[in-house]
Structure 1
Amino acid sequence: MNDVEQLREIVGAAKRIVAFTGAGISTESGIPDFRSPGGIWTRYKPIYFDDFMASDEMRRESWRRKFATDETMLNAEPNAGHRALAKLVELGRMSAIITQNVDGLHQRSGVPDAKVIELHGNATYASCLDCGHRHELAPIRTAFLEKGELPLCEKCEGIVKTATISFGQAMPEIPMIRAQEETLACDLLIVLGSSLVVYPAAGFPRMAKRNGARFVILNRDPTDQDDDADLVIHNEIGPTLSKAIGVN
């Protein structure tokens, strides 16, 4: 039995599946992995949350980087891997997608917002750090690029930031709780495109395994958790997952 057949058998036997996705699923849509050679974090020193809050200069640099690198992400389209997961959600086989990604491609592939748990936030919009009011990026981009204006909340005049989790910023409590609940309720957790090095998020696959669930890794490169998994496939995500669940 080859890898795809094994994955098809494991998926077919599961009653409640959870996906755990990382940058590798989105690189197949043309979005660079921040950590890879040439990625943003190899070209820029990260801006920590405390520095962003304390300095207009750091906020300005953060928005400058955002708009300089935004086009690739905003123009990306969901790929076969995203669509395969959307199909499993549609069929009622997959209860949640826990993602480390901030690109919103799972939602754009047709997965309802309620089924996507974003551990690191979402880069397709901004929010007020005081009142939480959502801000769309287009008017922020125009004001920043044309006038150099830093965004303030239209509701409370608080500081506005992309709705992502920065270095040094606390992980979002509600998504982390939801992710743990889904992890403990599933009977199969599939890791797709995550290097499984960023904790506490990377602890969820082992949590599922300890709780009796089966654990599959589909990732281009080896991870530190390969030895714990029931099946490891080092291959492209979209074609492999599509074949395993029988979608185009």
Structure 2
Amino acid sequence: MTFVVDSENTTMLQILPFEQSVEVQQAVEAYQNAEYPIALTGAGISVASGIPDFRSPGGLWSIFNPEEYATLEVFLRNPDKAWQLYRELGLVLLDKEPSKAHNALVELEREGLLKAVITQNVDRLHQKAGSRQVVEIHGEHQHLQCLQCRNRMPVSKSHYQGRGSVPCPKCGFPLKPGIVLFGEDVREYDRIAAIASKADFLLVIGTSAQVYPAAEIPFLVKRNNGRVYEFNQEHVLARQLSAQSGREGDYCFKGDVEETLPWFVSLVVAA
């Protein structure tokens, strides 16, 4: 098996068997010595689970304009319309299973080599895989909440049937999924900032990390003189970070995260 390993402290691009790459060996050793490593995940880690990136061609945002369906204002003004998106999203997430990349992060955590996962995803596949320390920036789609009486209840398949909004059984106000809509505050920002501020290592997996507050996390880690390892199909983040920080030690592992991340984790835990 071969991977492209793009080293941020050189201009070389090496294509070698993983075990034969000196740079990969150095990357593994550096990670093994991390004191507070964390991960930031996005849509790319769940693609292998059958959940397409919402922003990709054919994704939800190409069918439902976020400004027209996914804002708090739209939900409050026309909950029946907003629920067209919620049902479609719920059906996309229904009965999905974690990918090998999700499982790899669980293995790191069990070995004491990962302190927390900060995710932009709403599918709860990290928890389903077995990760315990998960912070969800954008909430999750497995519960419904009432903005009026604060009732909260698990979502069921029956909620994805029929038409119109789902009324709260306690007060009758339309229920809203536990996802963060445009116009709402992200979840647990203070906790996210505290975790990132302690971290000396960050695995960026399946996300470009270009949208705030996720975009801030790599820079908080770099402020601690930490390192960033990027696992993406294409080089997005790591070179930019190294150029701005002037420090060596960041890498991008290009390729399918369901292959690159489990392989890297296997090397890390083997020692």
Distance 1:225-1:104 versus aligned 2 partners, 3 A rule: same
Residue equivalent to 1:226: 239
1:52 aligns with 2:65: no
Q: How does 1:1-248 map to 2 (within 5 A)?
A: 1=21, 4-46=24-66, 47=69, 48-55=71-78, 59-112=79-132, 115-138=133-156, 141=159, 145=162, 148=163, 150-172=165-187, 175-229=188-242, 230-246=250-266
Deviation of 1:231 (Å):
1.0
Name the TM-score, length of structure 1 as normaliser: 0.87
| Residue aligned with 2:262, SS | helix
Distance 1:5-1:156 versus aligned 2 partners, 3 A rule: farther
In 1, distance between residues paired with 2:157 and 2:88? 16
* Misfit runs of 4+, over 6 Å: none
Deviation of 1:135 (Å):
1.8
Greater radius of gyration (CA): 2
Distance 1:225-1:12 versus aligned 2 partners, 3 A rule: closer
Matched letter for residue 56 of structure 2: S
In 2, distance between residues paired with 1:220 and 1:49? 32
Determine if contact 2:229/2:238 at 8 Å carries over to the other structure. no
Deviation of 1:23 (Å):
0.5
Distance 1:139-1:32 versus aligned 2 partners, 3 A rule: closer
| Residue aligned with 1:201, SS | coil
In 2, distance between residues paired with 1:72 and 1:201? 23
Distance 1:16-1:27 versus aligned 2 partners, 3 A rule: same
Q: Deviations over 1:132-178 (max 9, x none)?
A: 33222227516x51xx4532333444431010011222222xx1111
Distance 1:60-1:154 versus aligned 2 partners, 3 A rule: same
Determine if contact 2:41/2:120 at 8 Å carries over to the other structure. yes
In 1, distance between residues paired with 2:189 and 2:158? 29
In 2, distance between residues paired with 1:151 and 1:225? 43
Distance 1:102-1:136 versus aligned 2 partners, 3 A rule: same
Deviation of 1:126 (Å):
1.4
Distance 1:68-1:227 versus aligned 2 partners, 3 A rule: closer
Deviation of 1:11 (Å):
2.0
Q: Would you say how many aligned residue pairs link Structure 1 and Structure 2? A: 238
Matched letter for residue 141 of structure 2: A
Residue equivalent to 2:246: none
Please, which runs of 5 or more residues in structure 2 have no aligned partner? 1-20, 243-249
Distance 1:87-1:166 versus aligned 2 partners, 3 A rule: same
Deviation of 1:3 (Å):
6.0
Matched letter for residue 40 of structure 1: L
Matched letter for residue 235 of structure 2: P
Determine if contact 1:188/1:214 at 8 Å carries over to the other structure. yes
| Residue aligned with 1:82, SS | helix
Determine if contact 2:228/2:238 at 8 Å carries over to the other structure. no
Higher helix share: 1
Name the TM-score, length of structure 2 as normaliser: 0.80
